[in-house]
Amino acid sequence: MVDIAFGPEPGKRPDASGANARYLEMLRRKRMYGGIMMVFFVALMAAGWLTAEERNAGDFWSGLPQVIDFPAEVLTEAWMNRANIAGYAWEHFPALIETINIAAVATLIGALAAMALSLLATRGLARWPRLIPVFRRTMDALRAIPEIVIALMLIYIFGGGPVPAVIAIALHTGGALGKLFSEVAENADTKPIEGLASVGANWSQRMWFGVIPQVAPNWLSYALLRFEINVRASAILGFVGEGGIGHDLKVAMQWGQGRYDQVVAIFLLLFVTIVVIDQISDHFRHKLVKGH
């Protein structure tokens, strides 16, 4: 039996003596590598921060006490005019709705595109298996382009308004969700698909009745998470480009002193919205993924 386990030649048997010493040596080597990695990482971080600080307009230590200054100034002024805040919040409410609408429409369109792209790019489900790499690279490219690039170019063509933001966010969403959707679809059970194929269902019927019901909860969960992210993205795009609550915030900030009550009102609106959407989507995602 021993010969079967260790081979016929006696020389090939592992040397059991000194295992302890060798284990300790291995441990030492591992620790040394770990230590070197640690030193390298710390050096990299330090060098990085120093470079970043050097290129910055203000330096870290003189700026640090001022971090509080601006919020404090804003809050004191807003507190003096606290009676106006509710009015301003109401005034900017339509802009908030626009921001949420941009995010919602972009998520919807992006998710629909992602559904198609992901099914076409998943091994075992694809309509044209040879084209899988094409669809994958398409999704990669869509994911890689930051929203702001598309949005600013479309603003040049369309002028301001929400549509450039919608298209920009939808394109990005299509790529990002497509990847996640495809990972879910890869794990789908193929038996229902085979069953449908045996009764003569075509590709779209097989997907619609065989795959979608299986993956719907996970897909919905990812789409909700994406909606959360897109609300933030839509606010940021408004700040850089045009439209929505982000733009209002920028305009109010540019007025500077005297309008800080407005800044606080917009900020509160945005903060409350983000937290509420976070909570709602968290709740539903838990239900979708764990509720079955």
x/- letters, 131..160, toward another protein (CB under 8 A): ---------xx-xxxxxxx--xx--xxxx-
Residues 6+ apart with CB under 8 A from 255: 262
Q: Does 255 bind another protein (CB under 8 A)?
A: no
CB-wise, 12 or 290, nearer to another protein? 290
CB-wise, 32 or 52, nearer to another protein? 52
CB-wise, 93 or 128, nearer to another protein? 93
Residues 6+ apart with CB under 8 A from 188: 125, 211, 214, 215
CB-wise, 127 or 250, nearer to another protein? 250
The single residue among 23, 40, 49, 90 that binds another protein, judged by CB under 8 A, is 49
Nearest to 252 by CA among 89, 98, 103, 94: 89
Tokens representing 95 are 């802009």
Tokens representing 200 are 């003569």
Backbone φ and ψ of 96, nearest 5°: -65, -45
State in angstroms the smallest separation of the CB of 189 from another protein.
20
Instruction: In whole angstroms, give the CA distance from residue 102 to residue 122.
Output: 29
Give CA 268 to chain center in angstroms.
23
Q: Does 67 bind another protein (CB under 8 A)?
A: yes
Q: Does 210 bind another protein (CB under 8 A)?
A: no
Nearest to 271 by CA among 244, 241, 245, 253: 245
Size of the site for another protein (CB under 8 A): 58
Residues 6+ apart with CB under 8 A from 201: 209, 210
Q: What is the DSSP letter of 13?
A: S
Q: Does 69 bind another protein (CB under 8 A)?
A: yes
Q: Does 201 bind another protein (CB under 8 A)?
A: no
Site of interaction with another protein (CB under 8 A):
41, 45, 48-49, 51-53, 55-60, 63-64, 66-67, 69-71, 98, 101, 104-105, 108, 140-141, 143-149, 152-153, 156-159, 161-163, 166, 232, 235-236, 239-240, 246, 249, 253, 267, 270-271, 274-275, 278
